């Protein structure tokens, strides 16, 4: 049989592109040729477009070549992405056929389920690459399959102490549910697309669902839905976290920001083992001035060395520097560093790291786990509340902050959480013990011959067998 040729399709967002590139890396390693398709806006943000033998990077225009901006119409954007994306995929499939390099499978990520329409017309098998935890996939599935009214009742914040039990999942409170469910009016567009996704899977006789997780981490969640065969193919993290000098991994680095901050390694080297607090809320979260102030005062009060990533964003086409919102910059720099960007792999892997204050995006959650760094969970939206629940109550590798009635996490609460995970009392030692446990299990899953490699090979073999019939 000729070499398998997989088309990977993803949103032009860093949180989607990064795990999909890691997925591509593992497929290339087992002999699959990859065409990676996303929007021009993603390639424009990269200082170096990922390249590797066996990989072709194919950008297309979604009509928003400078990227989606705050204030843009989300419904119009998603509509254009769908229309133009389907055209681009269909044209590529046809040209590949003409060049005798036919596409043998299309793998798509969250919100790109319309790729299955194109695949069906061309008689090409598909798979969903779910880039959030299996627990979140299950919550959405149950929401649209018999539990909507129950979950909506739970999301009624007038009774915050109520808990809901879904099959195969831990007890969930309101704050543990994805924000697309608890704030369904605000995120109507997202919930509608997820409902479409569940419909696409339900219509398939043997849907292929690949999730960026591993069996030891979410065994029950991976087996909670009887109708679907869900497979864990994670953790999809850079090999640098596994102390591996992977040349393919280095070539596939997604350099999404042009800013480089070169003073970090010497500064980190100067700090004691497990002493530094790393604070980062990803590339999307926009914190209020009051929340930034509370974090700043907490870091000052804690008196621990810290590295805080405070990003620059565009609002209405104008760049907004969140560092300008900090009124105590001089006092902050007595204890740590405030930077606009850093290499998270480099920071989390450094022996001076003692704690990661994170928004709990799934990529960051897995990276901290593989690196063996305790977590202070500071969720903002989408799946992050569920991830924080798992971190604190299921895996025990961190603690979660609690917000006040206005939704602000106050400085004393932040300091309390830092003291818990970085201290040597019973709670701190318990967290550190769990951190080491999950670091080992994640490494086992990702190593050669581990569950990731075995499940990916089985998936590719299954696609190949189907193509031969």
pLDDT of 438-460, one tens digit each?
999 999 999 888 999 999 999 99
pLDDT (0 to 100) of residue 184: 82
pLDDT digits (tens, 9 = 90+) for 26-43: 999 999 999 999 999 998
Q: Enter the pTM of the model.
A: 0.93
Alpha helices per DSSP H over 177-286: 179-182, 188-203, 215-222, 247-251, 264-269
**Whether 16 is catalytic:** yes
Question: Region 19-27: what's the mean pLDDT?
Answer: 94
For residue 391, the 8-state DSSP code is I
CA–CA dist 269, 384 (Å, integer): 31
- CA dist 289 to 295, 316, 325, 326, Å? 10, 18, 6, 8
- Identify the CA nearest to 281 among candidates 191, 176, 365: 365
* Separation CA 435–CA 374 (nearest Å): 6
CA distance 349 to 241: 6
3-state SS, one letter per residue, for 271-330: CCCCCEEEEECCCCCCCCHHHHHHHHHHHHHHCCCEEEECCEEEECCEEEEHHHHCCCHH
Question: What are 326-367's pLDDT values in tens digits?
Answer: 778 888 989 999 988 888 988 999 999 999 999 999 999 999
Give me the catalytic one of 16, 113, 350, 359: 16
Q: 469 pLDDT band (50/70/90 cuts)? A: low
Q: What is the mean pLDDT of residues 143-151?
A: 93
Exposed (0-12), middle (13-18) or buried (19+): which is 224, by Cβ within 10 Å?
A: buried
What is the Cβ-side half-sphere exposure of residue 462, based on CA atoms within 13 angstroms? 15
Residue appearing with tokens 């700043």 = 296
Instruction: Write down all domains in the chain, each with its CATH number in brackets.
Output: 5-253+448-468 (3.40.50.2000), 264-340+343-422 (3.40.50.2000)
pLDDT in tens, 204-250: 999 999 999 999 999 999 999 998 989 999 999 988 777 666 666 65
Average pLDDT over residues 283-303: 90
pLDDT band of 323, cuts 50, 70, 90: low
Assign 259 a pLDDT band (cuts: 50, 70, 90). very low
On the 0-12 / 13-18 / 19+ scale of CB atoms within 10 A, 391 is buried
In the structure encoding, which two tokens stand for residue 90, read together? 């269909």
Smallest CA-to-CA distance from 114 within 51, 193, 32, 44 is with 193
Instruction: Estimate the crossing angle of helix 426-446 against helix 362-371, to 10 degrees.
Output: 100
Chain-centroid distance, C-alpha 39: 18
Confidence of residue 295 (pLDDT cuts 50, 70, 90): very high
Q: With 0-12 CB in 10 A as exposed, 13-18 as middle and 19+ as buried, what is 157?
A: exposed
Question: What's the token pair of residue 27?
Answer: 């497929």
């Amino acid at each position: 049989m000729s070499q398998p040729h997989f088309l990977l399709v993803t949103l032009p967002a860093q949180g989607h592109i990064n795990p999909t590139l890691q997925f591509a890396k593992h497929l290339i390693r087992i002999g699959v040729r990859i065409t990676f398709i996303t929007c021009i806006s993603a390639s424009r943000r990269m200082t170096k477009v990922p390249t590797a033998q066996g990989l072709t990077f194919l950008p297309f225009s979604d009509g928003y070549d400078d990227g989606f901006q705050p204030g843009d119409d989300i419904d119009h954007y998603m509509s254009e992405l769908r229309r133009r994306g389907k055209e681009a995929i269909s044209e590529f499939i046809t040209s590949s056929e003409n060049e005798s390099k036919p596409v043998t499978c299309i793998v798509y990520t969250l919100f790109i389920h319309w790729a299955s329409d194109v695949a069906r017309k061309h008689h090409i098998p598909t798979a969903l690459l779910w880039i959030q935890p299996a627990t979140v996939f299950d919550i959405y599935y149950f929401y649209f399959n018999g539990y909507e009214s129950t979950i909506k009742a739970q999301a009624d914040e007038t009774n915050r102490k109520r808990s809901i039990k879904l099959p195969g999942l831990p007890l969930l409170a309101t704050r543990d549910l994805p924000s697309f469910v608890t704030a369904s009016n605000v995120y109507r567009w997202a919930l509608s697309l997820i409902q479409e996704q569940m419909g696409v899977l339900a219509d398939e006789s043997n849907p292929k669902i690949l999730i960026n997780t591993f069996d030891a981490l979410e065994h029950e969640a991976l087996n909670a839905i009887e109708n679907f065969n869900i497979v864990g193919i994670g953790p999809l993290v850079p090999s640098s976290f596994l102390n591996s000098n992977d040349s393919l991994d280095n070539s596939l680095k997604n350099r999404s920001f042009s800013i480089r901050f070169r003073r970090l390694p010497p500064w980190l080297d100067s700090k004691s083992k497990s002493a530094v607090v790393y604070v980062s809320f990803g590339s999307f979260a926009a914190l209020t001035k009051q929340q930034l102030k509370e974090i700043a005062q907490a870091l000052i009060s804690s008196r621990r060395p810290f590295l805080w990533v405070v990003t620059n964003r565009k609002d209405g086409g104008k760049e907004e520097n969140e560092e300008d919102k900090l009124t105590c910059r001089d006092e902050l720099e007595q204890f740590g560093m405030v930077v606009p960007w850093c290499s998270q792999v480099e920071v989390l892997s450094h022996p001076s790291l003692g704690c990661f204050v994170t928004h709990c995006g799934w990529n960051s959650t897995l990276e901290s786990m593989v690196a063996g760094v305790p977590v202070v969970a500071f969720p903002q939206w989408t799946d992050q509340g569920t991830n924080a629940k798992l971190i604190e109550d299921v895996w025990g590798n961190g603690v979660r902050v609690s917000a006040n009635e206005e939704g602000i996490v106050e400085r004393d609460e932040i300091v309390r959480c830092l003291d818990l995970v970085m201290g040597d009392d019973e709670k701190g030692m318990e967290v550190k013990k769990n951190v080491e446990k999950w670091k080992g299990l994640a490494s086992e899953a990702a190593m050669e011959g581990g569950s990731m490699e075995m499940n990916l090979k089985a998936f590719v073999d299954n696609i190949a067998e189907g193509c031969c019939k």
